[in-house]
Homo-oligomer: A and B are copies of this chain.
Amino acid sequence: MTADWIAVDWGTSNLRAWAMQGDRPVAAGGSDKGMGALAPEQFEAALLESVSDWLGDGPTPVVACGMVGARQGWTEAPYRRVPCTPVDGAMVSAPAADPRLDVRIIAGLAQDRPADVMRGEETQIAGFLHRSPGFDGVLCLPGTHTKWVQISAGEVVSFRTFMTGEMFSLLAKQSVLRHTTAADGWDDEAFAEAVDEAIARPEMMAARLFGLRAGTLLHELPPERARARLSGLLIGAELAATRPYWLGQQVALIGAPGLARAYAEALRPQGVAAAQPDTTDITLAGLIAARALI
């Protein structure tokens, strides 16, 4: 089956692709060949592995977002400066030897002061605005590098990135806390308590983190509780920092379901009922919106 065009969400860890007929996905595929695992000359082959069944004889447009456009990616896509619409028609072509490929990479967004960048989230923002036209408020996109984004009149006004997800992963897997935190499992109460503590005194982070280790040694803190508490301490500190973003605002969460749920639980006691739209649908809607601008 041949696609009119191909939509690709290509992040650091994964590649997801959809065969599109008009605005409708008719097949989906992907692999774990994310940007982080590839040298520049390996991107074309990695893409063909996932999409070659969908290619006709002539060139098929491929619209891609994410870290594929980073400096270490296939080819560097520019950053557009906020305030601006999340996507526009200015995309960069990626060099491909196969004449059946016509690959365009969506530009990221940058902010001068405070310095900040995003790649991939701009497409999700476009998708969200496509589904909720006229939205004025705040998007939170939790992940390795969580983004908080102010949206007004269809534009990204400002944004800020938090390394919360990457810190969680480093601390849980590579610090002394690896002896203390479970790989899975959760405890809602421990999470909520830790969020509260961190919102109240975010500066205590580094001490409370070591407190997890001491809690294990002295009071047999269960590893599931430690894991939920670690997450709560980090997300709570982020909420302390982002209060101007969420206080009294319309907030929507776009991210992996488990993580988005944790953020929603953390925000609820603060009086914020955050929407949680389907992230895959939003991403695809963003790629469709970008394609329409070429």
Majority SS of interface residues in chain A? helix
CB nearest neighbor in B for A175? B166
Q: Mark A211-248, 1 if CB is under 8 A from B, else 0.
A: 10111011100000000000000100110110000000
Q: Mark A101-115, 1 if CB is under 8 A from B, else 0.
A: 000000000111011
Interface segment, A84-92, A156-164, A280-288? A156-164
Cβ contact within 8 Å between A174 and B174: yes
Chain copies in the assembly?
A: 2
CB nearest neighbor in B for A169? B175
Task: Name the interface residues of A136-188: CB closer than 8 Å to any CB of B.
Answer: 145, 160-164, 166-167, 170-171, 174-176
A residues neighboring B (CB under 8 Å): 71, 79, 110-112, 114-117, 145, 160-164, 166-167, 170-171, 174-176, 201-207, 209-211, 213-215, 217-219, 234, 237-238, 240-241
CB nearest neighbor in B for A112? B218
Q: Give A116 to B204 CA distance when docked, in angstroms.
A: 14
Cβ contact within 8 Å between B206 and A238: yes
Contacts of A161 in B (CB 8 A): 207, 210-211, 214
Cβ contact within 8 Å between B240 and A206: no
Q: A112-B218, A214-B117 are in contact. Are A205 and B205 (CB under 8 A)?
A: yes
Cβ contact within 8 Å between A218 and B167: no
CB nearest neighbor in B for A176? B166
Q: A170-B171, A202-B202, A203-B240 are in contact. Are A209 and B163 (CB under 8 A)?
A: yes
Q: A117-B218, A170-B170, A218-B117 are in contact. Are A203 and B203 (CB under 8 A)?
A: yes
Given A114-B207, A115-B217, A145-B210, 20 other A-B residues pairs in contact with their CB atoms under 8 A? A71-B217, A110-B214, A110-B217, A110-B218, A114-B211, A115-B211, A117-B214, A161-B214, A162-B206, A162-B210, A163-B175, A163-B206, A163-B209, A166-B176, A170-B175, A202-B202, A202-B205, A205-B205, A206-B234, A206-B241
